[in-house]
Structure 1
């Protein structure tokens, strides 16, 4: 049987690329599994104190944290399009002025949207004195799909998303580079039924099998084409 060089090289190239991409997705899945194991360990670790000293995001994300200070309702931001149990609503994000100096953003919880007037906020309570809160350090207060940046323009109380660094520049507050997703209850009528953090490892395994399936398909096509060529005496 005579093998045509160019088609054979093309099939080998496709197989090499798809097999390599499959291994890359497998490695990404293993990395995310390790991260998920870390997150589960953090859930049972003692809470870390947040103070005036800046804490790098990489060393605090997903850790349990504790912060003491006073809320700053004048700088509240309501993150729109955050549904809960199929009901539209907002996340209430507010800076906390830390006792001893410094500031940190706190995602205090979920608030339902007024069905008739979008900008009319349901009542909730903000403590006026010093409070101690606990929560999970997150990179942001959740991200929602957004076309452009119009829905997150500065100096708006209702926004689609909120960038910590941009908000620090906007307000002049020396914010920590993370957001505390509050888990402690202070009777403020906000919902804190937070979704569990997911790393998307199943997606990586799905892509892995897809790439390897494409490699197997390329091999099958090459063998089929070679067999047909042999029968025709090519």
Structure 2
């Protein structure tokens, strides 16, 4: 049986690459499983109070937090293309001026779209005066796909996404580097049935099996080709 050099090298490269990619997907799945366990532990721990002192995102993300302050409705941002039960709508993101100083952005909840007017905002309530907000610290107020850097023009209320640091620079307000995903009810008619963080562990395991399946297929093809050479 004559083994041809270059076809053999090509098959070995394919096997090496696909096996390595399979292990990479497996490692990603393990990392996500560890993060998911961490998130569960954070959500069951006692709440941390948000105050004037800067709280680094790395140390606070996914933790339960609570804040006390006054909403700033003049700075509200509506995140477009957020659906709930297959109904289109917005996330209502609003700064909270903290009691004692400092600011933090709050994703107050979901609001259905006015079907008669795409840019129309349905009525909802904003508590006046000091309010207590409870929720989960998140890196952003949810991220949706967008082309380019759309929806970021100054003073534009309806946007696709909202970056905390960019919005702080735009408004000149020193926000905490995270967004509170509000969980408590403040009588505002907003929906706060938040989706669980998407870890995608099953998808990673699926990709792992696909890559390893390709590796076995390449080996099988190589053995078949060698046998019939």
Q: Superposition pairs for residues 121-200 of structure 1, below 5 Å? A: 121-200=121-200
Give the Cα separation in 1 of the matches to 2:46 and 2:178: 18
Give the Cα separation in 2 of the matches to 1:141 and 1:69: 19
> CA shift at 1:153, angstroms?
2.4
Number of equivalences? 229
**Do the aligned partners of 1:36 and 1:198 also contact (CA within 8 Å) in 2?**
no
Give the Cα separation in 1 of the matches to 2:6 and 2:111: 63
| Matched residue, 1:119 | 119
**Cα deviation digits, residues 91-147 of structure 1 (max 9, x gap):** 100000111211000000011111112233211111111111100111111111111
**Do the aligned partners of 1:42 and 1:64 also contact (CA within 8 Å) in 2?**
yes
| Matched residue, 2:82 | 82
Give the Cα separation in 2 of the matches to 1:228 and 1:143: 53
Q: Which consecutive residues of structure 2, in runs of 5 or more, have no partner in the other structure?
A: none
**Do the aligned partners of 1:111 and 1:190 also contact (CA within 8 Å) in 2?**
yes
Instruction: Give the TM-score normalised by the residue count of structure 1.
Output: 0.95
| Matched residue, 2:62 | 62
Give the Cα separation in 2 of the matches to 1:20 and 1:88: 41
Give the Cα separation in 1 of the matches to 2:193 and 2:81: 16
> CA shift at 1:206, angstroms?
1.2
| Matched residue, 1:44 | 44
Q: Secondary structure at the match of 2:135?
A: strand
Instruction: Give the TM-score normalised by the residue count of structure 2.
Output: 0.97
> CA shift at 1:152, angstroms?
3.0
Q: Secondary structure at the match of 1:32?
A: helix
Q: Which consecutive residues of structure 1, in runs of 5 or more, have no partner in the other structure?
A: 230-234
| Matched residue, 1:35 | 35
Give the Cα separation in 2 of the matches to 1:104 and 1:127: 16
Give the Cα separation in 1 of the matches to 2:88 and 2:222: 53
**Do the aligned partners of 1:93 and 1:105 also contact (CA within 8 Å) in 2?**
yes
